[in-house]
């Protein structure tokens, strides 16, 4: 795949826009096909975060601290998203404006908001040639190297335990066909600066996933090949790297590559998770919507593609607002791109009728069957500091059931923030989750799943299950 390697923000030409529209229209036919696969009568998840969670993924957004006082912005953020990336507040110029003096107030506002609302945080970015404070721009050689290591160490230590993933190094490769490293003051400290940053980050926060993040690496090209070779080399030599972020800033000059999914997959095959980290797609209407659907389907098709983050909430929040590249318009209304994204996420989730495949293992029934309908439930948790996603599997006993209720208790301080495929009785303490209209009936031995997301610590005991 060859495409014009555009620096994020490059303006599209009219012809390129037309070409992208045609490509997108073709993709839209595929999108329709996927949507039609939804089970008849199924009530799909109604928010991006809940729909992504159905397949164990997150759906995130970049957040700017100065917008946390905007009620419309915060309303959408809290309703829709399960991961947050500070857009600028964790960068070197923001966190260490004077050498050795660290300021975290704005980044903390975002981290605290996320944690209070059950969202995870992607740290962005520890080492980058851009947005360096003036004092670092004026350093070179060993002085810059040691300042960089100190910066990585201090920031990752400060946020230790609060970060799901760190963009440890951002945009270290050059555009164009050379596959070379980008020239920068950091690069001139020696070719090993990237692995040194990763080792420092691991030492400072052993619990965070450590990612390399870049743009124009979304399809197979000289730049992504060079990143691929670096990741392969890091894995071979034991340099700590867990994930690769694909920024995915698209427009007509830099469209969604035809081999997007294949490229994500080849990185995943190296033994790293992959994530879409800064998604925005310039355009409008059905063409834009179709492209968003394509991106989501590519991620869902790669099991190690663990989440998608859009680079802002409303078009007016975008770093390239004139391209209207996001999922909500300036007033906070959902755009066709939103609907396409949600539909594509739901098409990958448990939207089909209950299967008749018995689960591999089920705990003994916690509510003995009174000679008739019975069920069991088991819960699997994806937890992080401050939050969790619980996936609950409900399995019918020896007889078919026409309805089920699962009971479980959340530890003190924990609360449900959203749920899917079941009706909860409340948000904290002892809770029941009842089947919805489309998933109450289960054949003998058949199972279905529902889930919920929450703040605090998830449930630990085996849930009860009663059937009718």
Alpha helices in 269-375, H assignment, sequence order: 285-300, 336-347
* Residue of 89, 96, 278, 315 interacting with ligand G3I (CB under 6 A): 278
Fill in the DSSP letter of residue 458: P
Give the Cα separation of 32 and 310 in Å (integer).
Answer: 22
Q: How far is the CB of 424 from ligand G3I (least distance, A)?
A: 36
87 binds ligand G3I (CB under 6 A): yes
Fill in the DSSP letter of residue 98: B
Query: What would the two tokens of residue 460 be?
Result: 């630990």
Nearest-CB residue to ligand G3I?
319
317 binds ligand G3I (CB under 6 A): no
- Crossing angle of the two packed helices 222-237 and 193-204, in degrees rounded to 10: 50
Question: What part of residues 157-176 is at the interface with ligand G3I (CB under 6 A)?
Answer: 170
Nearer to ligand G3I, 130 or 383 (CB): 130
Fill in the DSSP letter of residue 212: E
273 binds ligand G3I (CB under 6 A): no
Contact by Cβ (8 Å): 28, 322: no
* Residue of 103, 130, 157, 207 interacting with ligand G3I (CB under 6 A): 130
Nearer to ligand G3I, 104 or 400 (CB): 104
Q: What are phi and psi of 408, to 5 degrees?
A: -155, 165
87 classed as catalytic: no
Contact by Cβ (8 Å): 455, 118: yes
Q: How far is the CB of 433 from ligand G3I (least distance, A)?
A: 39
Nearest to 104 by CA among 170, 169, 163, 155: 155
Q: How far is the CB of 134 from ligand G3I (least distance, A)?
A: 14
247 binds ligand G3I (CB under 6 A): yes
Nearest to 67 by CA among 78, 57, 56, 59: 78
Q: How far is the CB of 464 from ligand G3I (least distance, A)?
A: 47
Nearest to 205 by CA among 265, 121, 303, 307: 121
Nearer to ligand G3I, 274 or 377 (CB): 274
Nearer to ligand G3I, 186 or 394 (CB): 186
**Is the N-terminal amide bond of 125 cis, ω within 30° of 0?**
yes
Count the residues of the shown chain that bind ligand G3I, applying the rule CB under 6 A: 10
Nearer to ligand G3I, 317 or 382 (CB): 317
88 binds ligand G3I (CB under 6 A): yes
Find tokens 């991961």 and name the residue.
Answer: 83
Q: How far is the CB of 184 from ligand G3I (least distance, A)?
A: 14
Nearer to ligand G3I, 8 or 283 (CB): 8
Q: How far is the CB of 106 from ligand G3I (least distance, A)?
A: 10
Fill in the DSSP letter of residue 171: -
Nearest to 273 by CA among 8, 56, 3: 56
Strand (E) or helix (H) holding 197: helix 193-204
Single out the catalytic residue among 80, 87, 96, 278: 278
Nearer to ligand G3I, 9 or 443 (CB): 9
Fill in the DSSP letter of residue 443: -
* Residue of 98, 103, 131, 468 interacting with ligand G3I (CB under 6 A): 131
Determine the length of the chain.
468
319 binds ligand G3I (CB under 6 A): yes
Find tokens 């947005």 and name the residue.
Answer: 131
Binding residues vs ligand G3I (CB under 6 A):
8, 87-88, 130-131, 170, 215, 247, 278, 319
List, by residue number, the catalytic residues.
Answer: 278
């Amino acid at each position: 795949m060859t495409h014009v390697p555009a620096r994020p923000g490059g303006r599209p030409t009219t012809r390129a826009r037309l070409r992208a529209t045609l490509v997108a229209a073709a993709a839209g036919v595929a999108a329709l096909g996927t949507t039609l696969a939804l089970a008849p009568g199924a009530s799909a998840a109604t928010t991006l975060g809940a729909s992504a969670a159905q397949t164990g993924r997150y759906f995130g957004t970049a957040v700017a601290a100065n917008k946390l006082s905007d009620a419309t912005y915060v309303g959408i953020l809290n309703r829709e998203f399960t991961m947050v990336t500070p857009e600028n507040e964790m960068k070197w110029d923001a966190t260490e404006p004077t050498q050795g003096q660290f300021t975290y107030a704005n980044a903390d506002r975002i981290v605290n908001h996320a944690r209070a609302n059950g969202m995870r945080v992607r740290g962005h970015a520890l080492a980058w040639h851009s947005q360096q404070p003036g004092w670092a721009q004026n350093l070179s050689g060993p002085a810059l190297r040691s300042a960089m290591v100190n910066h990585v160490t201090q920031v990752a230590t400060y946020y230790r335990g609060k970060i799901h993933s760190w963009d440890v190094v951002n945009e270290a490769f050059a555009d164009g066909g050379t596959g070379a490293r980008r020239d920068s003051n950091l690069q001139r400290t020696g070719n090993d600066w990237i692995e040194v940053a990763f080792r420092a980050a691991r030492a400072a926060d052993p619990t965070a996933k450590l990612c390399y993040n870049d743009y124009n690496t979304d399809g197979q090209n000289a730049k992504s090949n060079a990143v691929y070779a670096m990741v392969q080399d890091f894995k071979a030599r034991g340099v700590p790297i867990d994930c690769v972020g694909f920024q995915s800033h698209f427009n007509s000059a830099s469209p969604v590559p035809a081999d997007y999914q294949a490229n994500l997959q080849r990185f995943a095959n190296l033994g790293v998770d992959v994530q879409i980290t800064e998604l925005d797609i310039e355009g409008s209407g059905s063409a834009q919507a179709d492209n968003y659907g394509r991106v989501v389907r590519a991620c869902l098709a790669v099991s190690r593609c663990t989440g998608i983050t859009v680079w802002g909430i409303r078009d007016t929040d975008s770093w390239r607002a004139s391209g209207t590249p996001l999922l909500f318009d300036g007033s906070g209304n959902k755009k066709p791109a939103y609907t396409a994204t949600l539909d594509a996420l739901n098409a990958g989730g448990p939207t089909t009728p209950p299967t008749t495949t018995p689960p591999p293992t089920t705990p003994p029934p916690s509510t003995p069957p009174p000679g008739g309908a019975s069920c069991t439930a088991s819960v699997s948790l994806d937890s992080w500091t401050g939050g969790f996603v619980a996936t609950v599997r409900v399995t019918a006993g020896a007889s078919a059931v026409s309805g089920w209720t699962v009971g479980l208790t959340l530890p003190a301080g924990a609360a449900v923030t959203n749920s899917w495929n079941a009706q909860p009785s409340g948000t904290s303490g002892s809770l029941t989750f009842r089947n919805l209209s489309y998933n109450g009936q289960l054949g003998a031995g058949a199972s279905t799943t529902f889930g919920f997301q929450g703040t605090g610590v998830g449930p630990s005991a085996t849930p009860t299950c009663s059937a009718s």
